[in-house]
Structure 1
């Protein structure tokens, strides 16, 4: 079973770093799980976000998404089941071997 890297993204900066870390971890045989919260949800609307599709599992904090005025906007590569609460974030922490905050 592949080791899992969890990445918590709570800022609207550093999308390029998130993408590159995700791809590097994937090349190293790691499974990557991302959780976007607070201002990090704004990154889902950036053109570059599309580069994460197929390279990681990810979820978006529903409360943060709505608080940032994004309710109803699509997230590339994600359906409604990708919107989650902080409980899913907690599950990610438990499931991952390593955890980063960006």
Structure 2
């Protein structure tokens, strides 16, 4: 069974750490899923955000995203992954380990 790491991001900081963590996980064949909420959705506007594409499955809270005046598209996030907090709950249930930023 493959290992799966879940990452919850509600802060607009630490993008560099998240990218490094995802690269390290990929090197260890660990699947990563990230859910961005609240201020974490602002990270989608950082030019470095696109570095996460291919390193993790990503979804975000559409309510949080829109509350900051943001609009799609976002590199690495499919239209179906503009989601609700229910997706966050699914992530928690599916993962072997869970981190929060």
Whether the TM-score (by the shorter chain) exceeds 0.5 is yes
Alignment partner, residue 27 of structure 1: 27
**Partners of 2:5 and 2:97 within 8 A in 1:** yes
**Partners of 2:58 and 2:76 within 8 A in 1:** no
> What's the TM-score, normalizing by structure 2?
0.96
> What's the TM-score, normalizing by structure 1?
0.95
Coordinate RMSD, CA, aligned: 0.8
1:3-82 → structure 2 map (5 Å cutoff): 3-70=3-70, 72-82=71-81
Q: What is the number of residues matched between the two proteins?
A: 101
Alignment partner, residue 84 of structure 1: 83
In structure 1, the gaps of 5 or more residues are none
